[in-house]
Amino acid sequence: MSLSNVPMIGVVACNQQIGLHPFNIVGEKYLLSIVNGAGGFPLVIPSLGLDLPTAALFSRLDGILFTGSPSNVEPHHYQGQPSEAGTSHDPKRDATTLPLIKAAIDAGVPVLGICRGFQEMNVVFGGSLYQKLHEVGKYIEHREDKTASVDVQYGLSHQVNITPNGLLHDICGLDVADVNSVHTQGVDRLGNGLTVEATAPDGLVEAFSVKDANSFALAVQWHPEWKVQQTPFYQSIFDAFGKACRLHAAKREK
């Protein structure tokens, strides 16, 4: 692909131990969603747990995607109870993404959060999380069947009700849409300054935007990166994100 007039979009990595060494890794589906969905080119942002040179980063990036992950935000970031033994965490990612989200939004860099990224954004704005939705007692099953094929796991699972006249409604033009559901955790207390954009049939918040953001700032609990080009609703989200990134690029280059 030609990189002329293509927005450069950062994609945050997970810090994961593989064998004897730590790796920074990103699922290919996220990288391809930037190329095929948003019309951009992905650049991996490593989660090293160090202070990022945000000014230099934002001078080169036109948007940032905060991805999903097998790991969960450590609960001390939202004053939650310690996780059950064996829960997967990624403290270096927490140390990287939680400050980066707020800095990016304050700088007017377009951001899209997916699954863990959605949960990170809620925590950054003072929200809290249910660590095990299936144990709360008032929610439908939001977890995937881990014994099923990946196509079944990421297949459409339930509908979401889209807030009338909200950002997501403006993006897709739908009142109701079908989504996949591949998560154990979810929003308990919604963060300050966040606007609900969609809810599950059980009332769980499934999407929100940042009310006073200077640019595109949307987060969704489902996985719109999955086969994005085959699902018009998912594609509409990446279309809007890509458009915002191109507008930001144009402003940055002036």
Residues catalogued as catalytic: 115, 223, 225
Question: How far is Cα 195 from Cα 76, in angstroms, rounded to an integer?
Answer: 24
Nearest CA to 243 out of 169, 164, 166, 171 is that of 171
Nearest CA to 68 out of 18, 118, 103 is that of 118
Q: Is residue 222 exposed (0-12), middle (13-18) or buried (19+ Cβ within 10 Å)?
A: buried
Q: Determine contact, residues 113/218, Cβ cutoff 8 Å.
A: yes
Nearest CA to 34 out of 7, 69, 70 is that of 7
> HSE-up of 240 (CA within 13 Å, CB side)?
20
Q: Determine contact, residues 36/43, Cβ cutoff 8 Å.
A: no
